[in-house]
Amino acid sequence: MRPISPRKLSINNSRPILLPFSLLVTSFLLYTLFNHTFTSSKPSSLSSATSSVSLFLSLSPSANASISHDLRSLTLRPHLAGTPGAASTASFVLSRLRKAGLETFSRRYSPLLSFPSHSSLSLHHANGSLIAALSLSEPADPDRILVPPYHAYSPSGKAVAPAVYANLGREEDFQTLERLGVRVNDCVVLVRKGGGYRGGVVARAAEHGAKAVLISGGPDGGVERGTVILGGPGDPLTPGWGAIGSVTGSGDVERLQVAAEEVRRRFPTIPSMPVAAVTAADILRTLGGPPLPPEWKEGLLETGAGVGPGPTLVNFSYTEERKVAEIQDVFGMIRGREEPDRYIILGNHRDAWTYGAVDPHSGTATFLDIARRFGVMLQSGWRPRRTILLCSWDAEEFGMIGSTEWVEENLDNLHSKAVAYLNVDCAVQGVGFNAATTPQLDKLLIDISKKVNDPDVEGKTVYDTWVSATGGISIERLARADSDFTGFLHHAGIPSLDMYYGNEFAGYHTALDSFGWMQTKGDPLFHRHLAIAEIWGLFAVRLADDLILPFDYQSYASQLEEYVHALCDFLDEKLSLEPIHAAIKDLHDAANDAFTEGQKLELQHISGTDAGLRIRALNDRLMLAERSFLQEEGLDGRHWFKHLLYSPPEDYESKLSFFTNIADAISRSKRFKGREERLAIRHQIWLVSRAITKVGQVLRGKIL
Ligand SMILES: *[C@@H]1O[C@H](CO)[C@@H](O)[C@H](O)[C@H]1NC(C)=O
Ligand SMILES: *[C@@H]1O[C@H](CO)[C@@H](O)[C@H](O)[C@H]1NC(C)=O
Ligand SMILES: *[C@@H]1O[C@H](CO)[C@@H](O)[C@H](O)[C@H]1NC(C)=O
> What DSSP assignment string belongs to 366-406?
HHHHHHHHHHHHHHTT---SEEEEEEEES--TTTSHHHHHH
Q: Is the CB of 453 under 6 A from ligand 3?
A: no
Q: Is the CB of 119 under 6 A from ligand 2?
A: no
Q: Which residues contact 69 (CB under 8 A, 6 or more apart)?
A: none
157 SS3 class:
strand
Tell me what pLDDT residue 307 has: 97
The mean pLDDT of the chain is: 92
Residues with CB under 6 A from ligand 1: 125, 127, 129
Tell me what pLDDT residue 93 has: 98
Ligand 3: atom nearest CA of 526 is: 14
Tell me what pLDDT residue 390 has: 98
CA–centroid distance, 236 to ligand 3, in Å, is 44
Through-space distance between the first and last CA atoms of the chain, rounded to whole angstroms:
45
Q: What are 658-662's contacts with CB under 8 Å, separation 24+?
A: 658/9, 658/477, 658/479, 658/563, 658/566, 659/563, 659/567, 659/684, 659/688, 660/479, 660/635, 661/631, 661/635, 661/636, 661/687, 661/688, 662/567, 662/688
Tell me what pLDDT residue 248 has: 67
Q: Are 207 and 231 in contact (CB under 8 A)?
A: no
Q: Is the CB of 47 under 6 A from ligand 3?
A: no
Tell me what pLDDT residue 672 has: 67
Q: Are strands 226-227 and 112-124 parallel, antiparallel or unpaired?
A: unpaired
The parts of the chain modelled with pLDDT lower than 50 are 3-45
Residue whose CB lies within 8 A of the most ligand 2 atoms, among 117, 118, 122, 188, for a mutation test: 122
What's the farthest any 2 CA atoms get from each other in the chain? 90
Ligand 3: atom nearest CA of 67 is: 13
CA–centroid distance, 573 to ligand 2, in Å, is 57
The residues annotated as belonging to the active site are: 396
Tell me what pLDDT residue 398 has: 98
* For residue 360, cis peptide bond before it (omega within 30 degrees of 0): yes
Structural Rg of the chain based on CA atoms: 26
Q: Is the CB of 133 under 6 A from ligand 2?
A: no
Q: Is the CB of 416 under 6 A from ligand 2?
A: no
Element (H, E) at 568: helix 553-568
Q: Is the CB of 160 under 6 A from ligand 2?
A: yes
Ligand 1: atom nearest CA of 127 is: 1
Q: Is the CB of 595 under 6 A from ligand 3?
A: no
Q: What are 14-21's contacts with CB under 8 Å, separation 24+?
A: 14/470, 14/471, 14/472, 14/473, 14/474, 15/472, 15/473, 15/558, 15/562, 16/472, 16/473, 17/442, 17/443, 17/446, 17/473, 17/555, 17/558, 19/443, 19/446, 19/447, 20/443, 20/552, 20/595
Residue whose CB lies within 8 A of the most ligand 3 atoms, among 64, 66, 529, for a mutation test: 64
Q: Which ligand sits closest to the CA of 313?
A: 2
Best CA proximity match to 265, nearest among 527, 650, 7: 650
Tell me what pLDDT residue 2 has: 53
Q: Which ligand sits closest to the CA of 526?
A: 3
Tell me what pLDDT residue 174 has: 98
Residue whose CB lies within 8 A of the most ligand 1 atoms, among 125, 286, 313, for a mutation test: 125
CA–centroid distance, 144 to ligand 2, in Å, is 24
Whether the predicted model's global pTM rises above the 0.85 cut: yes
Ligand 3: atom nearest CA of 524 is: 14
Residue whose CB lies within 8 A of the most ligand 3 atoms, among 525, 528, 534, for a mutation test: 525
Tell me what pLDDT residue 115 has: 98
Ligand 3: atom nearest CA of 65 is: 13
Burial class from Cβ neighbours inside 10 Å (0-12, 13-18, 19+) for residue 619 reads: buried
Q: Which ligand sits closest to the CA of 130?
A: 2
Angle at alpha carbon of residue 542, lines to 536 and 545, rounded to 5°: 135
Ligand 3 atom 5: residue of nearest CA: 525
Q: Which ligand sits closest to the CA of 124?
A: 2
Ligand 2: atom nearest CA of 160 is: 13
Residue whose CB lies within 8 A of the most ligand 2 atoms, among 135, 315, 319, for a mutation test: 315
Q: Which residues contact 75 (CB under 8 A, 6 or more apart)?
A: 355, 356, 357, 361, 514, 515
Ligand 2 atom 5: residue of nearest CA: 120
Helix, strand and coil percent figures for the chain, each rounded to 5: 40, 15, 45
Residue by residue, DSSP assigns 577-610 as -HHHHHHHHHHHHHHHHHHHHHHHHHHHHHTT--
Q: Is the CB of 378 under 6 A from ligand 2?
A: no
Ligand 1 atom 11: residue of nearest CA: 129
Would you give the distance in Å from CA 594 to the centre of its chain? 30
Q: Are 534 and 501 in contact (CB under 8 A)?
A: no
Residue whose CB lies within 8 A of the most ligand 3 atoms, among 68, 526, 534, for a mutation test: 526
Element (H, E) at 658: none
Q: Is the CB of 260 under 6 A from ligand 3?
A: no
Ligand 3 atom 6: residue of nearest CA: 525
CA–centroid distance, 316 to ligand 2, in Å, is 8
Please list the residues that pair with 164 across neighbouring strands: 189
Tell me what pLDDT residue 50 has: 78
Ligand 1 atom 5: residue of nearest CA: 125
Ligand 1 atom 8: residue of nearest CA: 129
Backbone torsion region of residue 158, taken as left when φ is above 0, otherwise alpha when ψ lies between -120 and 50, otherwise beta: beta
Q: Is the CB of 65 under 6 A from ligand 3?
A: yes
Q: Is the CB of 89 under 6 A from ligand 3?
A: no
CA–centroid distance, 121 to ligand 2, in Å, is 9
Tell me what pLDDT residue 15 has: 39
Number of H helices, E strands in the chain: 21, 17
Q: Which ligand sits closest to the CA of 123?
A: 2
Q: Are 626 and 493 in contact (CB under 8 A)?
A: yes
CA–centroid distance, 136 to ligand 1, in Å, is 25
Q: Is the CB of 315 under 6 A from ligand 2?
A: yes
How far from 648 is each of 37, 228, 264, 583, 655, CA to CA, in Å?
46, 16, 21, 23, 11
CA–centroid distance, 319 to ligand 1, in Å, is 30
Q: Which residues contact 60 (CB under 8 A, 6 or more apart)?
A: 530, 533, 534
Q: Which ligand sits closest to the CA of 310?
A: 1
Q: Is the CB of 449 under 6 A from ligand 2?
A: no
Q: Which ligand sits closest to the CA of 127?
A: 1
CA atoms within a 13 Å half-sphere pointing along the CA-CB vector of 599: 13
Ligand 1 atom 9: residue of nearest CA: 129
CA–centroid distance, 55 to ligand 1, in Å, is 76
CA–centroid distance, 161 to ligand 2, in Å, is 11
- 487 secondary structure, DSSP code: I
